[in-house]
Amino acid sequence: MERVKNLFLLLFAAIVITGCGSSNATVTCKKVEKFQSDAGIINIPQFKVGDAILLDTVKKVGTFILNSEIADADISASAPIDSTVILTETGFDINLSGDVSKASASVQANVKSTISRNTTFFLANSVRKNISNPFNEINKPGNMPAIKSALVNNKNTVCMFVTGIVYADKFEFRIKNSAGGSANANILKFGNFSIQIAYTCQGDLKIDAKNGGIFYKPSFYGLNAAKDQLLLQALKIDLSGYNFYQALKVY
């Protein structure tokens, strides 16, 4: 009887070590406004192409200046495609359960890191719309005076010009190179573990991806020395900490 008991314990240990059985990971989002990708920044404020926003770089506040009325001929649009983008600066909280939660601390840390680095955004029928010539657009007589006035009359400011928006019929979180049998089966194969991943972030994104856009592309402009022209500035501004409530425009 003792021998049978020992064999059972050895078998149980082997199951835990090799990762047989169920393993799960629940992924929640810390700050959805920090999501970035090569497609742009997550469009929580629902900016439109041609929005000019005054950024106070000290107070971290964005204030709406104007929306440039851009003719369709001055906007380039890509053909609709299904696309996948890698998310960065996501700040995920990941909770492991099942067999993988019994693994060593280093294995669990590697699993969490792998999930963070390989979480993607799947975009169905995504379309990118860009202003063909942002410099000409922002310097039009109907735009430049109002933007100039905002910059001259407010210290520590720069103009953020929304030059592109990515739209999509729908979006969802997916793990890159899922081992699942279907496109939306989020299963990560890690060593001997097959980990079922559940993303709870989807409900945190209150975005109209089809009409309002899922990602936006900002450019930053300032006045030249003569204050008669707006020039593109080589700036890298972390927009995640900005308050854009004053930048929202009802169309």
Residue 111 φ/ψ, nearest 5 degrees:
-65, -45
Residues 78, 128: contact at Cβ < 8 Å?
yes
163-204 pLDDT, tens per residue?
A: 999 999 988 888 887 765 555 568 998 988 999 999 887 666
For the ranges 54-63, 152-161, 188-197, 220-229, the lowest mean pLDDT is seen at 188-197
Domain spans, the chain: 31-90+117-177+204-247
Give alpha helix (H) positions in 164-220.
none
* 75-134 confidence digits (pLDDT tens): 999 999 888 887 766 678 899 999 999 999 999 999 999 998 888 888 899 999 999 999
Q: Do strands 51-56 and 187-190 pair parallel, antiparallel, or not at all (unpaired)?
A: unpaired
- Provide the whole-model pTM: 0.78
Determine the Cα angle at 234 with ends 228 and 238, to 5°: 115
Q: How far is CA 137 from the centre of its chain?
A: 26
Quote the tokens at residue 25.
């990971």
Identity at 33, one-letter amino acid code: E
CA distances from 88 to 70, 92, 118, 217 (A): 31, 10, 10, 15
The three-state secondary structure class of 53 is: strand
Judge contact between 23 and 197, C-beta under 8 A: no
